[in-house]
Structure formats: C-alpha cells, structure tokens
Structure 1
Amino acid sequence: MIPQSCLLIETKKFPILDGEKDEITNENMYGKALCKYLEAQLPSIGINVPFYCNEDWGWWLETDRNGFKMALCIYSDPDANPNPERYAILPSIQNGKKWSWSKFRSIDNSKNVLETIGAVEKLFKNDSDIRVVTRHDDYPF
C-alpha cells in the first residue's frame, strides 16, 4: 500500500439510498450516495468519473485525472447500523511502482495516486457536512 493513500471520512451526508439494499452483493456494503456525490463533484476539480459500480466488497468509482486512470474503492463501515457514517476510500493502485514492458523499467505511479487522493481529500475538507477527514496507511476498518 502507498503510505497515506487511504482516506477515512465521517459524515451523515451519505445515507443508504432507496433500492440500494437490493443492489448490493454483500450485506452492509453501502456507498452509492457517496459515489453519486463524487461523480457530481470531482469534475469541478479536474477529475472525471467515467462510471461507478457495486462490487462484492463495496463500490468501485473509476477516475481519470489528466490521463491518469485509477479507481477509488469505497467501503462503508461494516458495523454501521442502520446508516453508515464512516467510509474508507482507497486507491485501486496499491503498489507505487509497476513494471512497464514497453519502457523496460519500473514506472512510479505513487505521485499520481497521492495527487488524486489529495484532491479528493481537499474536496471532502471543504464540505462542512463532512466532519472528519483523515489519512491512513492502510484500510482503516
């Protein structure tokens, strides 16, 4: 995991949406309201959101920032009842370097990952309805 690439937010802003319980694969893996929020807000800070979808572990939100593509993996607090108030946001790219056969060397993606996470963190911190925003080295739940 890239150090300080995980976010934890606390808010009542993203309740379970109508019909979301029927969409999720596994119990308590909510996050559609947060995905819809990010889909609407991220383009204003230069991050496009081509799509988002439910996965068995949570929600996948595809992002594109200046040609750098990765997803934000969104997890709700598994112990929340009834509405989650804590969400973890992790990058889909967890290793800073990857091998490029075409360049025949390792490519460091950690800067791009951390810049994207930093932009999302700033968006959250500027929203007065999101009371806590913290960074972590790994999955915080």
Structure 2
Amino acid sequence: MTIGDDEALQLVVSLHRLTRSLRRASTAGSVHLTHIAVLALLTRQGPARVGEIAQWVPCSQPTATAAVIGLEEAGLVRRESDPADKRASRVLLTERGAAALADIARGEAEVLAARLASLRPAEIRQLAEVEPLLRRLADTAD
C-alpha cells in the first residue's frame, strides 16, 4: 500500500498542528522553537559548531548564533574550543540545558496524556502501535 501526496500532506499538517498545540498548552510555549530545536539536536548529536547547528535546524547562521547566545545566557549551553581547530568553538549542552529540554518534553507529554484520556481504549492502542513507526521515520531523517 502506498500513501498519496494528499494523504501525506494531511498527515504533515496534523502532526504540525498537534505539536504546536502541545507546545502552546504546556510550559514550552514560552520557549522559542529554535531554542528547543538546538537543545534537542545537541542532545542527539553532541557538541557542534554554530554552522553545523544552522544546517541541522535548519536556519540561517545568524539565527543559529542568536539562538546559541540566548541559550548560553540562560545557562543551557556553553562554548568550548574545538579540539580539531582551536580557532573555532563548539556548543555543548549543559546539565541545566538537558534538564530544561526534559522538562519541556514532560510538559508536552502531560498535555498529550490528558488529551489521550478522551479517546477510547482501542484508539489509544492504535496510537501506541504507530509510535515506533513515527520514531523510525524521524530517525531516517537524521
């Protein structure tokens, strides 16, 4: 079975709407999306230069620089010399940054759990079966 472009578009729209609504309804609504993306990428990829962050997010280098500065001022990331090139620096996630990202995810999960409570048990099982597939699709992009 294949999925058509229209069905794929509707799935993308639904996933975006769900993600945005979870973010707005949780405490993550006050955190800039680019900041969340940078924290998540550093968690998954490890230390990176600002140029790499800009490619991963994706965003412009000035946007990535501004995000890193904001995260650094909040104590969520720090910079250190790049061992491969002492003229450059790498951005690293701090313990506080990892904790902040975990708090954001927990807040969104709490909102989602409350919404799931309105579904029938069979619908919840269907969603639980889809999660590994969504994770695999997300991992493919990396």
What is the TM-score normalised by the length of structure 2? 0.35
Higher relative CO (Cα under 8 Å, sequence separation at least 6) belongs to: 1
By percentage of residues, which structure has more helix?
2
What is the TM-score normalised by the length of structure 1? 0.35
